[in-house]
Amino acid sequence: MVGDGDRQELRRRQEAVLATRRREYDEDDVRVRPGKSSRPRTRTRPRHADAVDGFVIAVDRGRYTCVLSEAAPDAPVVTAMRARELGRKSVVVGDRVGLVGDTSGAAGALARIVRIAERRSVLRRTADDDETTAEGRLERVVVANADQLVIVSALADPPPRTGFIDRCLVAAYDADIEPLLCLTKADLAGPDQVVGYYAELELPYVLIRPDSDLDALRSLLAGRVSVMVGHSGVGKSTLVNRLVPDAARAVGTVSAIGRGRHTSTSAVALPLPAAPGVAPGAVAGWIVDTPGVRSFGLAHVSAESLLHGFPDLVEATVDCPPNCPHTPDEADCALDSWVAAGKADPRRLASYRRLLASRSGEGDAREPERNPGDPLAGS
């Protein structure tokens, strides 16, 4: 039998064994998950007072090619990336930006865009006219801060397409950009029909022949940021190469920096050489060369603003009933009587109504260039 003394001795031995295994714990052994700080998160962002001003001339897959505002015309271009603090703000060709970091333009150097100046104008287009479609909702900014939209159209081969010109005019007026009609291949056909079609608009135009000296066009481009748009085959690239003799080299330089797609698939700003008598190397203006486009969707333009692209029809709408849709089936629409009285070209009304129909999904935005029955379009 085990007596009380033996039990006590056994208990003391067990306690001694447990004591050797026992560990003293303190606050360092306890993992405490940090709570939310009572200090409010600041929204203050760096001022970047040392940022230098730049001008975006090309965009390629997250890399932005810029020139410094105060740099010499022959200075190397600067490659930059967008700073995280800009959030989802897009950077496009023509933007005036603030740059920090390595702005030397040396090989491998990379700056950061930390600021985007307020845009004076924004030229947009969509792939479709109907904003309810995926293509209509996909809005593309062609260029920012442009002063002038140069619509390049051939007088022959291919024939002029007034439907496309009308669309460009609507986009220009909506963006508050002055339009300029540039008619190429004037040696193959006369401009009377096209000029007459836009007579009521007093649309400025310039004729281009293969042997033209381009002085008239250069004077209209001087000191401005001009966007050139046009279909493939109208001679836009040839015209750009004549205006900017180093265009091929400049475009190649931008491509090498971005290491992306060929720049014919995206807009690129090219410096116009100064006129004779001006300091060598000075920049007389900028041409933003855009790739050839098949359509110029206007889903971003409201139905009310669409009429602003047809100023020769605006006065007639004063006699229209309230909320007039201006469609052919509206009996009280004053546009028909306005045209019947010879105050506007019927082809202009047809073009306007065709755009209205396209906005409602009844037309095809990929085929806007030819107005039905328009002899200028060759149809």
Residue ranges of the annotated binding site for Zn(2+) are 320, 324, 326, 333
Helix (H) or strand (E) holding 221, with range, is helix 215-221
The total of other beta-carbon atoms located within 10 Å of residue 277's CB is: 5
Q: Report the SS3 class of residue 137.
A: helix
Are the beta carbons of 66 and 51 closer than 8 angstroms?
A: no
Q: Which residues pair with 186 in a beta bridge?
A: none
CA 190/CA 19 separation, integer angstroms = 110
CA 112/CA 97 separation, integer angstroms = 10
Residues 6+ apart with CB under 8 A from 269: 55, 56, 57, 58, 93, 94, 143, 225, 286, 287, 288, 289
Which residues belong to the annotated binding site for GTP? 184-187, 230-238
Beta 268-273 vs 283-289: how paired, if at all?
antiparallel
Which residues belong to the annotated binding site? 184-187, 230-238, 320, 324, 326, 333
Phi, psi at residue 305, to the nearest 5°?
-75, -20
